[in-house]
Amino acid sequence: MNQYLDISAEVKEALGQGRPVVALESTIISHGMPYRKNVETALNVENIIRENGAVPATIAIIGGRLKCGLTPDEIEYFGKKGRDIAKASRRDIAALCARGEDGATTVTTTMMIAHMAGVRFFATGGIGGVHRGAEKTMDISADLEELAHTPVTVICAGAKAILDLGLTLEYLETRGVPVLGYRTEELPAFYSRHSGLKVDYRVDSPEEIASIFYAQQQMGLKGGMLVTNPIPEEYAMDDTVINRAIDQAVAESVEQRIQGKEITPFLLARVAELTGGDSLESNIRLVYNNARLASQTACAYQAML
Protein backbone atom coordinates (compact mmCIF):
# COMPACT_ATOMS: atom_id res chain seq x y z
CA MET A 1 0.00 0.00 0.00
CA ASN A 2 1.36 3.45 -0.76
CA GLN A 3 2.68 5.51 2.12
CA TYR A 4 0.37 8.48 1.48
CA LEU A 5 -2.88 6.48 1.71
CA ASP A 6 -5.05 6.29 4.87
CA ILE A 7 -8.01 3.93 4.72
CA SER A 8 -10.49 4.38 7.60
CA ALA A 9 -10.95 1.43 9.95
CA GLU A 10 -14.53 0.86 8.78
CA VAL A 11 -13.61 0.84 5.09
CA LYS A 12 -10.56 -1.34 5.70
CA GLU A 13 -12.65 -3.88 7.57
CA ALA A 14 -15.32 -3.93 4.85
CA LEU A 15 -12.70 -4.42 2.11
CA GLY A 16 -11.01 -7.17 4.14
CA GLN A 17 -14.31 -9.02 4.53
CA GLY A 18 -15.25 -8.62 0.86
CA ARG A 19 -18.20 -6.37 1.66
CA PRO A 20 -19.43 -3.77 -0.87
CA VAL A 21 -17.94 -0.27 -0.60
CA VAL A 22 -19.01 2.88 -2.47
CA ALA A 23 -16.66 5.85 -2.93
CA LEU A 24 -17.85 9.49 -2.81
CA GLU A 25 -16.03 12.63 -3.92
CA SER A 26 -15.25 15.76 -1.89
CA THR A 27 -15.27 18.47 -4.61
CA ILE A 28 -19.05 18.15 -4.70
CA ILE A 29 -18.97 19.07 -0.97
CA SER A 30 -16.49 21.96 -1.07
CA HIS A 31 -17.14 23.37 -4.56
CA GLY A 32 -20.45 21.91 -5.68
CA MET A 33 -22.92 23.06 -3.02
CA PRO A 34 -23.25 25.85 -0.43
CA TYR A 35 -22.56 25.32 3.30
CA ARG A 36 -24.51 23.73 5.25
CA LYS A 37 -26.53 21.96 2.60
CA ASN A 38 -23.27 20.40 1.38
CA VAL A 39 -22.48 18.82 4.75
CA GLU A 40 -26.07 17.70 5.32
CA THR A 41 -26.15 16.12 1.85
CA ALA A 42 -22.77 14.40 2.26
CA LEU A 43 -23.90 12.83 5.56
CA ASN A 44 -27.27 11.79 4.11
CA VAL A 45 -25.56 10.17 1.11
CA GLU A 46 -23.44 8.09 3.47
CA ASN A 47 -26.60 6.96 5.30
CA ILE A 48 -28.32 6.03 2.05
CA ILE A 49 -25.33 3.86 1.12
CA ARG A 50 -25.50 2.08 4.48
CA GLU A 51 -29.28 1.56 4.15
CA ASN A 52 -28.60 -0.10 0.81
CA GLY A 53 -26.14 -2.61 2.22
CA ALA A 54 -22.78 -0.98 1.39
CA VAL A 55 -20.13 0.98 3.28
CA PRO A 56 -19.50 4.62 2.24
CA ALA A 57 -15.96 5.85 1.61
CA THR A 58 -15.88 9.62 1.18
CA ILE A 59 -12.52 10.54 -0.33
CA ALA A 60 -10.41 13.69 0.15
CA ILE A 61 -6.83 14.88 0.70
CA ILE A 62 -6.22 16.19 4.21
CA GLY A 63 -2.86 17.49 5.35
CA GLY A 64 -1.15 15.68 2.51
CA ARG A 65 -2.81 12.32 3.28
CA LEU A 66 -5.00 10.53 0.74
CA LYS A 67 -8.08 9.71 2.82
CA CYS A 68 -10.43 6.90 1.91
CA GLY A 69 -13.28 7.20 4.45
CA LEU A 70 -13.85 10.47 6.33
CA THR A 71 -15.25 11.15 9.80
CA PRO A 72 -18.31 13.44 10.15
CA ASP A 73 -15.93 16.11 11.54
CA GLU A 74 -13.74 15.89 8.45
CA ILE A 75 -16.83 16.24 6.23
CA GLU A 76 -17.88 19.30 8.26
CA TYR A 77 -14.37 20.78 7.80
CA PHE A 78 -14.55 20.36 4.01
CA GLY A 79 -18.05 21.76 3.82
CA LYS A 80 -17.20 24.79 5.92
CA LYS A 81 -13.93 25.66 4.15
CA GLY A 82 -15.68 25.27 0.80
CA ARG A 83 -13.93 26.87 -2.14
CA ASP A 84 -10.90 27.79 0.01
CA ILE A 85 -9.83 24.16 -0.35
CA ALA A 86 -7.82 23.49 -3.50
CA LYS A 87 -9.66 21.53 -6.16
CA ALA A 88 -7.36 18.58 -6.75
CA SER A 89 -7.04 16.92 -10.12
CA ARG A 90 -4.50 14.25 -11.22
CA ARG A 91 -1.79 16.85 -11.83
CA ASP A 92 -2.16 18.20 -8.25
CA ILE A 93 -2.01 15.22 -5.96
CA ALA A 94 1.74 14.64 -5.79
CA ALA A 95 2.39 18.31 -4.94
CA LEU A 96 -0.40 18.43 -2.33
CA CYS A 97 0.90 15.27 -0.62
CA ALA A 98 4.52 16.38 -0.69
CA ARG A 99 3.58 19.74 0.81
CA GLY A 100 1.12 18.36 3.37
CA GLU A 101 -1.84 20.32 2.03
CA ASP A 102 -5.59 19.71 1.68
CA GLY A 103 -7.34 18.94 -1.59
CA ALA A 104 -10.92 18.43 -2.65
CA THR A 105 -11.01 15.37 -4.86
CA THR A 106 -12.77 15.59 -8.24
CA VAL A 107 -14.11 12.59 -10.11
CA THR A 108 -10.56 12.04 -11.39
CA THR A 109 -8.75 11.98 -8.05
CA THR A 110 -11.60 10.17 -6.28
CA MET A 111 -11.30 7.39 -8.88
CA MET A 112 -7.51 7.29 -8.40
CA ILE A 113 -7.68 7.05 -4.61
CA ALA A 114 -10.61 4.59 -4.71
CA HIS A 115 -8.52 2.37 -6.97
CA MET A 116 -5.45 2.64 -4.71
CA ALA A 117 -7.66 1.46 -1.82
CA GLY A 118 -9.41 -1.31 -3.80
CA VAL A 119 -12.85 0.35 -4.12
CA ARG A 120 -14.57 -0.27 -7.46
CA PHE A 121 -17.82 1.75 -7.37
CA PHE A 122 -18.22 5.49 -7.00
CA ALA A 123 -21.40 7.57 -6.84
CA THR A 124 -21.49 11.25 -7.72
CA GLY A 125 -23.70 13.93 -9.30
CA GLY A 126 -22.20 14.89 -12.64
CA ILE A 127 -18.84 14.32 -14.30
CA GLY A 128 -16.62 16.80 -16.10
CA GLY A 129 -16.36 16.55 -19.88
CA VAL A 130 -15.56 18.38 -23.08
CA HIS A 131 -16.42 22.06 -22.65
CA ARG A 132 -18.35 24.03 -25.21
CA GLY A 133 -15.79 25.74 -27.46
CA ALA A 134 -13.15 23.07 -26.68
CA GLU A 135 -12.10 23.11 -30.35
CA LYS A 136 -10.41 26.43 -29.44
CA THR A 137 -9.70 26.17 -25.69
CA MET A 138 -8.85 22.43 -25.55
CA ASP A 139 -10.69 22.36 -22.22
CA ILE A 140 -11.42 18.69 -21.72
CA SER A 141 -11.87 17.46 -18.16
CA ALA A 142 -9.28 15.05 -16.79
CA ASP A 143 -12.32 12.99 -15.66
CA LEU A 144 -12.64 11.53 -19.16
CA GLU A 145 -8.99 10.50 -19.26
CA GLU A 146 -9.29 8.90 -15.81
CA LEU A 147 -12.29 6.86 -16.95
CA ALA A 148 -10.05 5.60 -19.75
CA HIS A 149 -7.27 4.44 -17.36
CA THR A 150 -8.72 3.48 -14.00
CA PRO A 151 -10.94 0.45 -13.31
CA VAL A 152 -13.72 2.12 -11.31
CA THR A 153 -17.41 2.32 -12.24
CA VAL A 154 -18.75 5.86 -11.86
CA ILE A 155 -22.49 6.24 -11.32
CA CYS A 156 -23.69 9.75 -12.22
CA ALA A 157 -26.71 11.58 -13.61
CA GLY A 158 -24.94 12.31 -16.90
CA ALA A 159 -23.27 15.66 -17.29
CA LYS A 160 -24.53 19.20 -17.23
CA ALA A 161 -25.22 21.01 -20.48
CA ILE A 162 -22.50 23.50 -19.43
CA LEU A 163 -20.52 20.95 -21.50
CA ASP A 164 -20.73 19.89 -25.10
CA LEU A 165 -22.39 16.54 -24.42
CA GLY A 166 -22.00 15.27 -28.00
CA LEU A 167 -18.24 15.87 -27.95
CA THR A 168 -18.03 14.32 -24.48
CA LEU A 169 -19.54 11.08 -25.83
CA GLU A 170 -17.18 11.16 -28.84
CA TYR A 171 -14.18 11.50 -26.52
CA LEU A 172 -15.35 8.62 -24.32
CA GLU A 173 -15.83 6.46 -27.40
CA THR A 174 -12.30 7.22 -28.64
CA ARG A 175 -10.86 6.34 -25.22
CA GLY A 176 -12.87 3.10 -25.04
CA VAL A 177 -15.12 3.94 -22.09
CA PRO A 178 -18.52 2.20 -22.09
CA VAL A 179 -21.42 4.55 -21.32
CA LEU A 180 -24.45 2.75 -19.87
CA GLY A 181 -27.93 4.21 -19.42
CA TYR A 182 -29.91 2.98 -16.43
CA ARG A 183 -33.39 2.16 -17.69
CA THR A 184 -32.90 4.56 -20.60
CA GLU A 185 -31.44 4.67 -24.11
CA GLU A 186 -30.86 8.41 -23.85
CA LEU A 187 -27.95 10.14 -22.15
CA PRO A 188 -29.40 12.10 -19.22
CA ALA A 189 -28.23 15.71 -18.78
CA PHE A 190 -28.07 16.01 -14.99
CA TYR A 191 -31.04 18.35 -14.18
CA SER A 192 -32.88 16.99 -17.17
CA ARG A 193 -33.61 13.39 -18.21
CA HIS A 194 -33.02 14.28 -21.84
CA SER A 195 -30.13 15.30 -24.09
CA GLY A 196 -31.23 13.92 -27.45
CA LEU A 197 -28.05 11.75 -27.46
CA LYS A 198 -27.80 7.97 -27.17
CA VAL A 199 -25.88 5.94 -24.60
CA ASP A 200 -23.97 2.85 -25.73
CA TYR A 201 -26.05 0.31 -23.79
CA ARG A 202 -29.30 0.41 -21.89
CA VAL A 203 -29.20 -1.61 -18.64
CA ASP A 204 -32.20 -2.38 -16.46
CA SER A 205 -30.79 -3.77 -13.22
CA PRO A 206 -27.80 -3.39 -10.88
CA GLU A 207 -26.95 -7.03 -11.71
CA GLU A 208 -26.62 -6.15 -15.38
CA ILE A 209 -24.25 -3.27 -14.60
CA ALA A 210 -22.21 -5.52 -12.30
CA SER A 211 -21.96 -8.23 -14.98
CA ILE A 212 -20.57 -5.80 -17.58
CA PHE A 213 -17.98 -4.45 -15.15
CA TYR A 214 -17.13 -8.02 -14.15
CA ALA A 215 -16.50 -8.98 -17.79
CA GLN A 216 -14.31 -5.91 -18.26
CA GLN A 217 -12.26 -6.81 -15.18
CA GLN A 218 -11.97 -10.49 -16.08
CA MET A 219 -10.56 -9.60 -19.48
CA GLY A 220 -8.07 -7.26 -17.87
CA LEU A 221 -9.26 -4.31 -19.95
CA LYS A 222 -7.91 -1.14 -18.52
CA GLY A 223 -10.24 1.70 -17.68
CA GLY A 224 -13.56 2.18 -15.99
CA MET A 225 -17.16 2.54 -16.93
CA LEU A 226 -19.73 5.30 -16.80
CA VAL A 227 -23.26 4.58 -15.64
CA THR A 228 -25.72 7.38 -16.31
CA ASN A 229 -28.81 7.34 -14.10
CA PRO A 230 -31.50 9.88 -15.00
CA ILE A 231 -32.75 12.24 -12.30
CA PRO A 232 -36.12 10.99 -10.93
CA GLU A 233 -38.96 12.53 -12.97
CA GLU A 234 -40.43 14.41 -9.99
CA TYR A 235 -37.17 16.32 -9.40
CA ALA A 236 -36.25 17.03 -13.04
CA MET A 237 -36.15 20.69 -14.03
CA ASP A 238 -37.94 22.39 -16.86
CA ASP A 239 -35.58 22.21 -19.88
CA THR A 240 -36.21 25.82 -20.96
CA VAL A 241 -35.52 27.23 -17.48
CA ILE A 242 -32.33 25.27 -16.93
CA ASN A 243 -30.98 25.75 -20.45
CA ARG A 244 -31.52 29.51 -20.27
CA ALA A 245 -29.56 29.68 -17.00
CA ILE A 246 -26.77 27.53 -18.45
CA ASP A 247 -26.48 29.63 -21.62
CA GLN A 248 -26.27 32.80 -19.53
CA ALA A 249 -23.64 31.32 -17.19
CA VAL A 250 -21.51 30.14 -20.14
CA ALA A 251 -21.77 33.59 -21.80
CA GLU A 252 -20.66 35.28 -18.56
CA SER A 253 -17.70 32.91 -18.21
CA VAL A 254 -16.54 33.89 -21.71
CA GLU A 255 -17.01 37.63 -21.03
CA GLN A 256 -15.15 37.40 -17.71
CA ARG A 257 -12.43 35.20 -19.29
CA ILE A 258 -12.75 32.53 -16.61
CA GLN A 259 -10.27 29.76 -17.42
CA GLY A 260 -8.79 26.45 -16.38
CA LYS A 261 -9.90 24.75 -13.18
CA GLU A 262 -12.06 27.77 -12.24
CA ILE A 263 -14.53 27.32 -15.09
CA THR A 264 -16.53 24.38 -13.76
CA PRO A 265 -16.99 25.78 -10.20
CA PHE A 266 -17.90 29.18 -11.71
CA LEU A 267 -20.55 27.68 -13.99
CA LEU A 268 -21.97 25.44 -11.25
CA ALA A 269 -22.30 28.35 -8.81
CA ARG A 270 -23.78 30.69 -11.43
CA VAL A 271 -26.37 28.16 -12.60
CA ALA A 272 -27.37 27.56 -8.98
CA GLU A 273 -27.75 31.33 -8.37
CA LEU A 274 -29.74 31.91 -11.56
CA THR A 275 -32.20 29.11 -10.84
CA GLY A 276 -32.55 29.82 -7.12
CA GLY A 277 -32.94 26.91 -4.75
CA ASP A 278 -34.62 24.71 -7.37
CA SER A 279 -31.49 23.45 -9.00
CA LEU A 280 -29.85 22.76 -5.63
CA GLU A 281 -32.78 20.58 -4.55
CA SER A 282 -32.66 18.68 -7.86
CA ASN A 283 -28.90 18.27 -7.48
CA ILE A 284 -29.27 16.77 -3.99
CA ARG A 285 -32.02 14.37 -5.08
CA LEU A 286 -30.09 13.02 -8.02
CA VAL A 287 -27.04 12.35 -5.85
CA TYR A 288 -29.22 10.30 -3.46
CA ASN A 289 -30.60 8.41 -6.44
CA ASN A 290 -27.07 7.62 -7.66
CA ALA A 291 -25.93 6.53 -4.21
CA ARG A 292 -28.75 3.96 -4.12
CA LEU A 293 -27.90 2.53 -7.53
CA ALA A 294 -24.16 2.46 -6.76
CA SER A 295 -24.77 0.54 -3.52
CA GLN A 296 -27.05 -1.99 -5.21
CA THR A 297 -24.47 -2.45 -7.98
CA ALA A 298 -21.61 -2.89 -5.49
CA CYS A 299 -23.70 -5.54 -3.69
CA ALA A 300 -24.50 -7.32 -6.98
CA TYR A 301 -20.80 -7.30 -7.95
CA GLN A 302 -19.65 -8.78 -4.62
CA ALA A 303 -22.22 -11.54 -5.08
CA MET A 304 -20.55 -12.50 -8.39
CA LEU A 305 -17.06 -12.91 -6.93
Q: Please give the positions annotated as active site.
A: 25, 160
Report the C-alpha gap between 274 and 255 in whole angstroms: 17
Q: Is the peptide bond before 36 cis (omega within 30 degrees of 0)?
A: yes
Rule CB under 6 A: is residue 164 a binding residue for ligand PSU?
no
**Do 78 and 110 meet the contact criterion of CB atoms below 8 Å apart?**
no
Question: 76 touches which of Mn ion, ligand PSU, none (CB within 5 to 8 A by kind)?
Answer: none
Q: In this chain, which of 15, 61, 62, 107 binds ligand PSU, going by CB under 6 A?
A: 107
Rule CB under 6 A: is residue 25 a binding residue for ligand PSU?
yes
Report the C-alpha gap between 214 and 232 in whole angstroms: 27
Which listed range, 22-30, 65-73, 179-187, 297-305, lies at the site for ligand PSU (CB under 6 A)? 22-30
Which listed range, 36-44, 50-58, 122-130, 203-211, lies at the site for ligand PSU (CB under 6 A)? 122-130
- For residue 61, list its beta bridge partners: 66, 103
Which CB sits closer to ligand PSU, 21 or 268?
A: 268
x/- track of binding to ligand PSU for residues 186-205 (CB under 6 A): ----x---------------
Binding site for Mn ion (CB under 5 A): 139
**Do 187 and 228 meet the contact criterion of CB atoms below 8 Å apart?**
yes
DSSP type of residue 266:
H
SS3 label, residue 194: coil
Orientation angle between helical segments 37-51 and 72-81, nearest 10 degrees:
150
Which CB sits closer to Mn ion, 174 or 259?
A: 259
The secondary element (H helix, E strand) that includes residue 78 is helix 72-81
Report the C-alpha gap between 305 and 301 in whole angstroms: 7
Which listed range, 111-119, 124-132, 179-187, 219-227, lies at the site for ligand PSU (CB under 6 A)? 124-132
Rule CB under 6 A: is residue 146 a binding residue for ligand PSU?
no
The footprint of ligand PSU (CB under 6 A) covers: 25, 27-28, 32, 106-108, 125-128, 141-143, 160, 190, 261, 264, 268
